[in-house]
Structures are given as structure tokens and as C-alpha cells.
Amino acid sequence: MQFLRLALPDVMLITPKRFGDNRGYFSETFRKDRFSEEVGPVEFVQDNQSLSAEVGTVRGLHFQLNPRAQGKLVRCIAGAILDVAVDIRAGSPTFGRHVKAELTAENGCQLWIPPGFAHGFCTLAPNSILSYKVTDYYSAEHDRGLLWNDPDLAIEWPVELEKAVLSAKDLAQPRLADLQANFVYGD
């Protein structure tokens, strides 16, 4: 398993090894000991799965407020996505910056997004399925978001604005400049 720190060093791209033959392949997608060595102690409490039927579906940018903040370990088990993490920690030297990674069923890559980051993705293939582990349970009371196409974030999404498939909730999220600080860098 390879762990690669990205431009936002708390976000990691994880590439599990695949062992293949004429039958297909085998891969360890999570090992608590290796994950703890690279990321630190993390306890996952819930597994989630989502299906996005259309290419150009955008989900996010989502996060949960403290004290119910979630870290996420995201992987694409069918199709392909462009996964995005945005630093929303007040006082962070990378506040408002983002990283992107292409996660596909073929490449097997995963993205670790710790608490203090907003998360979203755009589908690159039809019927894309995501599976992800989270470090706290879903809480509607703490569920928040950030506008996916906020110009201050300068995210280059792989879909034209008018062709993106979004929920009403994601279309109405606040801009980064309007977010109340909930996460503080270094806490």
C-alpha cells in the first residue's frame, strides 16, 4: 500500500497493491496498522456507498461541523470520479486551497480526507459507485456544505456549469467567504 501526501499534506492519496492473475486480482483496501502508521490513530464507525447515474453529477462540497466532524476514506468501486478536498480550517496556511485526484475502479486509488476539509466529487463515467468509510456517524444537525463552483476556490471541474447535475441542496450552499469558522488549524 502506497501513501502519497498531496499539496495539502493532511490529504493523502492511497494506492493499494493489486495481485493479479488470469482470474482477476486481489487487493487489501484497508489495513488499520498501515493506515495508523501513515495517518495516525483513526477509528472508522460507518461505511457509506453512493451511486451517481449520470456523467457530470457533482456531489458536494460537504462536511460535518464539530463535534461531529468526519474524516473520510473514499474509493470508487465502479466507474470514475474526480475527487476534491478543500481546506476549510481557519488559520491554515492552505485555507481555501484544494487538491484533486482521479479515483477509478481500475486504478483502485483512495483519498483520505481528514476533518476540517470539505469534500466533493464529479462523475467521469456513468453509474459511478463510491464506497467510503467515515470517522463519525452522519448527523443532519451538523451537516454543512460549501458552494461547489465558488470562484474563490478556483476548482476546475470536468463539467460545464450548465451541464452539471446537482441537488437543490448543493446549488444553495454558501461561498467560502460566508462560512463561519468551525475548524481551526492546529487543533
Distance CA 46, CA 49 (A): 10
Distance CA 75, CA 131 (A): 5
Distance CA 26, CA 64 (A): 34
Q: Is 132 a catalytic residue?
A: yes
Q: Is 137 a catalytic residue?
A: no
List 25, 62, 137, 138, catalytic entry: 62
List 25, 98, 119, 132, catalytic entry: 132
Question: Quick one: 141 exposed, middle or buried, by C-beta within 10 A (0-12, 13-18, 19+)?
Answer: exposed
Q: Is 86 helix (H, G, I), strand (E, B) or coil?
A: strand
Active site amino acids: 62, 132
